[in-house]
């Protein structure tokens, strides 16, 4: 499975592509950041995020796009920018018919480090180790994007089985 992880942000939108299957070593194919000028107006920044993500989709052809689920923060302005960048990533994938998976920050941290309360340094260290890299990707947004892709590769099969079981249970309830 090839997954594009997106750590949404207006100033720095982390992107990373990981390929692999659960239980086998994973391979990082690419990592980077889509940047937008802080002084540009919102519309232009969103277009820049869209163009950057479209370029990553064209180049790497992922099967799934894993995006960090936006969570409430104390700074409303920050959460709004993150949500807007997240929506752009989801739109780009949906336009191409690529499935989108949303993962919470604590879910990603738990999948990669074993604890949902890991800090940025711990996530970077585990991404480095899991992908057999020489050093943690910089900035942290790039490492977070890889962590999202890793989380999805590891968790998607179990989530799919759970969804199928729930659907099967629901369909049996309707026919009884």
Q: Where are the domains of the chain?
A: 2-175
Q: What is the pLDDT of residues 28-74, one digit of tens each?
A: 999 999 999 999 999 999 999 999 999 999 999 999 999 999 876 67
Q: Is 68 a catalytic residue?
A: yes
pLDDT of residue 160: 62
pTM of the model: 0.90
Q: Classify residue 52 as left (phi > 0), alpha (psi -120 to 50) or beta.
A: alpha
63 closest CA partner among 145, 143, 137, 5: 5
CATH number at 2-175: 3.30.420.10
Catalytic member of 41, 54, 58, 68: 68
Catalytic member of 50, 63, 141, 144: 141
Q: Is 141 a catalytic residue?
A: yes
In the chain, the percentage of residues whose pLDDT exceeds 90 is: 80
pLDDT, averaged across the chain: 92
């Amino acid at each position: 499975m090839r997954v594009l992880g997106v750590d949404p942000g207006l100033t720095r939108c982390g992107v990373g592509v990981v390929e692999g299957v659960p239980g086998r070593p994973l391979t990082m194919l690419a990592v980077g950041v889509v940047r937008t000028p802080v002084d540009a107006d919102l519309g232009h920044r969103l277009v820049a995020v869209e163009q950057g993500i479209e370029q990553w989709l064209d180049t790497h052809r992922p099967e799934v796009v894993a995006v960090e689920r936006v969570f409430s923060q104390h700074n409303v302005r920050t959460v709004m920018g993150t949500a807007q960048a997240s929506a752009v990533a989801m739109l780009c994938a949906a336009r191409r018919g690529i499935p989108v998976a949303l993962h919470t920050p604590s879910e990603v941290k738990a999948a990669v480090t074993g604890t949902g309360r890991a800090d940025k340094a711990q996530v970077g260290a585990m991404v480095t180790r899991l992908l057999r890299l020489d050093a943690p990707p910089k900035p942290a947004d790039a490492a977070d994007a890889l962590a999202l892709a890793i989380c999805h590769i590891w968790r998607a099969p179990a989530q799919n089985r759970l969804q199928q079981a729930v659907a099967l249970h629901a369909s049996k309830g309707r026919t009884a």
